[in-house]
Structures are given as C-alpha cells and as structure tokens.
Amino acid sequence: MKKTALIFVLVLLSAACKKDLTSLNVDPKHPSTVPSYSLFTESERLLSNTVTSSNVNLNIFRLIEQQWTETTYLNETNYQLPSRNQPDAIWAAFYSSVLINLEKAKGFIPTDVSDKGTQKNEIAIADMLQVYTYYYLLTTFGNIPYSQALNINNPFPAYDDAKTVYGELLTRLDADIAALDPASGSYGANDVIYAGDPTAWKKFGNSLKLKMGVTMADYDATTAQTVIAAAVTGGVFTSNADNATFDYLTGPPNTNPVWVDLVQSQRHDFVGTSQFINLLNPNTATQDPRLPYFFSQSIAGGTYVGAANGSGNGGLVYSQYSLPSGPLITPGSLGKVTNPDFPGDLLDYAETEFNLAEASARGISVGGTVQSHYNAAITASITYWGGTDVDAATYLALPTVAYATATNPTAPGVLTPLQKIALQEYIALYNRGWDAWILTRRLDYPTLLPPPNAYSGFPVRFTYPISEQNVNKENYDKAAAAIGGDLVTTKLFFDVH
C-alpha cells in the first residue's frame, strides 16, 4: 500500500513540474496538423476508392446499370436504397473525407511550400479534384450544400441550386487550368495519378471541362457549345497514356477496392447480367474482344453466361454464370477487374473521344467527324483493356458496330447518332457504373428496364441522406421542395428528356 501511494505521489509531482500542463491534452497519435501533401494523397485515394468501389454499402452503380446482378441478396439490384443507406455513405465519403481534406490541403500549402509557382500549381490541382467531386454530388443528388458546405463552424449548411453551382464549378475549373504552370513543380511522387505533372493535370482539367460541357448540353446548349469549344482548344486527352488512373498495390491496405469487396471478402454473388453479356456476345462470330477481360467464363459450363437481372434471391448458383474477371476469381482468366493492383479509373481517353463524338453529333465543331471520334473511342477502350488495334478494327467492321450501320444486337432497330454513341459508350464504361448511370440518364439509351421485383422505378437520382433529414431538416426540406421532391424518380437538372 505504501509503495502504491508513493508511486501516485511521484506521478503527481512529475505532472506538476511540467511548465505547460495543456500539453497533457495533446494526443500524439492524432496530430492536429499534417503536411498538405499527405492530405492530398489521401484525398486521391479516397476519391478513387469511392468511384471504384463495388461495396453494397457505397457504390452500387454496376448493379443499377445492369452490368452485374446479385445471385443471393437482391436489395441493391432491386433499388432498395434505404436498406443500406448508400446515400449517407456517398455523402460522407465526398464531404467528410475528400472535400474537407482537399480544403485543408489548400490551406496548408502556402505554409508547407516555399516556391510560389509550386504553391499555385498544387492549389489548382487540389481545387480541380474538388470540382470533380462536386460534379458527382450534383449529378447524384441535385441541389447540394456548396457555398456553406466546408465551414466546420456551420453544422447546418444551406443547399445551393444545382445549375448555379454547376456554373460556378466551370468558373473554378477555368481558373485552375489557367493557373497551372508547366515550368513549376507540384506534388511529385505524392501525386499518385500524374506524379505532379502540371501539363498532365491541364489535360485532365480540359477533359473534365469537355465532359461537363457535354453533360449540360440538353439544358443549356449555348453555354455547352462555348464550354466544349474552349476545352478542345485548351487540349484534351489524346491517348490512353493520358488516363487519370490511381495505381493500387498488390497488397493491403492500398489495394483495388473491387479486390477487397470480392476476393478478400470471398464474395461470389455478383455475376454478369444476361442483358449485358448478350450485348457483348450475341454470337461467337461477333464477340466483343473485351468480353474475356470483363468477365470470366462460368465455372460450370466454360462459356460466358449471364443471369437475368434480379432473378437471384438464392435460386442462382454463381458457378453457372460469368463472374467479374480476374485470375484470383477464375484461374486462367484474362481479365483484371478483381486483381488487387487493377487501377481506379477517374477519367479516360475513351470517354473523352465519346464526348467529342457526341459534341460533333450535336453540331459542335471539335475537329474530326462523328465517325472518327466514335472509332477512336472504341479503339481506345479495347486497347486499354488488353486488346489490340487489329481486334478493334475487326470489331469496328461488324455491321452492328460500324457507325454507318450500328444497331443494338439485343434490341434490333434503327438507332439515332446519339443512341449509337450511347450504346458503345455504355459498354466502354464497364466497371465505371457511376459514369454509365450519368450517361443512360442523359441520353435515355440503352433502355434499362427495372427488375421484376423493383423497390421503385429506375433511380434517376439518389435520395438525400437520412442524416441530413434528421440533423439539417430545415435546409433539407427546402432542398427537397426546390427539386420537386426527395424521390429516386425526381429528374435532376441535366436529365431533361
């Protein structure tokens, strides 16, 4: 007892001898400040993880877009968003992680970096990624907190009009592109996407600008034409070497999220849909060269077989169907989707060429022709996945694919120019379900029918998070009313057809 009392007294005396007792409140394991570059790197990782993930609690767009379907639990296939609250997860990932980290990084850069040119580049790149992030929030929810969003002293931010925010994002993007100076440095190796290359980021900025211009083409054609022309003049992606990809590693914790979701978690209940696989493989003579890279052959039959969307509920045996590709899922598979180091794809050359094709089809001068950009887009997609230029040429010669005669092999009929582009872009956006969802809502093609037991009509937006409904109710109510109701069937500002 005396020994214990003595130790206690010594501890008190030791504490009393400290000149600054407030230091006892400092948690050495959770620093209050961190280097700006570490915040930037983590933001890139979190952003890539969010748009790449196949986690049913977060990113279910491959299921909504009917690239995949579930064989056992059908909540996500059937659009049952309330069961797992994906809107809350998306909101938190973008606002509480990506956007706030990038905002902090921008604030720390002037202190961390002495060279003014480097400061300017790093702030512009961080801001560009914020614009990219807000793009997905706007096209997912509609009106969102923006002007008051990142003020930590305001827990109840007001919602801003989506069209207004979209215009402000384009203004920000213009300023970011103009600020980038190739003669100065930036993040270097701390930038996983472009290794700190300002020239590469300038191309990214213009390609994102082109994408945003095309997205708004149906609700503001005049502004869209100006935005698209400026982006092309500024210089967009010209090859797959320009792709904005985040390189994952072969071992945890920085691995491909799809590997984490399916391989590490030993989950086998996601398979290709018959609708999507039949589109790729209407018959062996016209098989899409990307099919072996997208999916594995079924374990049971050794052929590519898809399941009818929403037909699972425990009645399907996954081995009878084609799973997402990867040798760790099916030995000998050519594909890479489930490899631990398969990169996350934020924006690529194939999508850029499809955007140019669409702009040209709308009568906007971007150089080249609709067909030349259409061909370049398909070729870029095939070679990105592992095919060759010869594979692409053979595929483009098919009557169902060639721009002059293109049809939908699963739904024969005459296609408009925009439908021809949309169909092939939908295929190219495999494993990028979020962007496929934006595409099919904009152009209403290909037609995706709800599964037999759908919880709602096809979701054209996500409902606002439950956390917002409970905590920020006054502003939530105003936002819901402003867009026409907080429903998954309420069309957003860019979806005018």
| Domain encompassing residue 221 | 36-62+81-241+458-483
Q: CA-based angle 185:190:191, to the nearest 5?
A: 75
Instruction: State the total domains in the chain.
Output: 1
Cα separation, 236 vs 354, whole angstroms: 12
Phi, psi of 272 (to 5 degrees): -70, 145
In this structure, is residue 88 part of a structural domain? yes
Phi, psi of 145 (to 5 degrees): -65, 130
DSSP letter for each residue of 382-434: HHHHT--HHHHHHHHTSTTTSTTT---TTS-S---HHHHHHHHHHHHTTT-HH
Over the stretch 37-93, which tens digit does the pLDDT of each residue have? Answer: 999 999 999 999 999 999 999 999 999 999 999 998 899 999 998 889 999 999 999
- The confidence band for 5, taking pLDDT boundaries of 50, 70 and 90, is very low
In this structure, is residue 86 part of a structural domain? yes
In this structure, is residue 381 part of a structural domain? no
In this structure, is residue 254 part of a structural domain? no
Cα separation, 7 vs 104, whole angstroms: 43
Cα separation, 106 vs 124, whole angstroms: 9
- The confidence band for 143, taking pLDDT boundaries of 50, 70 and 90, is very high
Model pLDDT, residue 27: 60
Cα separation, 381 vs 388, whole angstroms: 10
In this structure, is residue 85 part of a structural domain? yes
Instruction: Read off the CATH number of the domain in which 473 is found.
Output: 1.25.40.390
Model pLDDT, residue 282: 86
In this structure, is residue 262 part of a structural domain? no
Say whether the peptide bond before residue 82 is cis (omega within 30 degrees of 0): no
In this structure, is residue 352 part of a structural domain? no
In this structure, is residue 182 part of a structural domain? yes
Over the stretch 311-347, which tens digit does the pLDDT of each residue have? Answer: 987 777 778 899 999 876 666 667 789 999 999 999 9
Phi, psi of 246 (to 5 degrees): -105, 115
pTM, two decimals, is 0.93
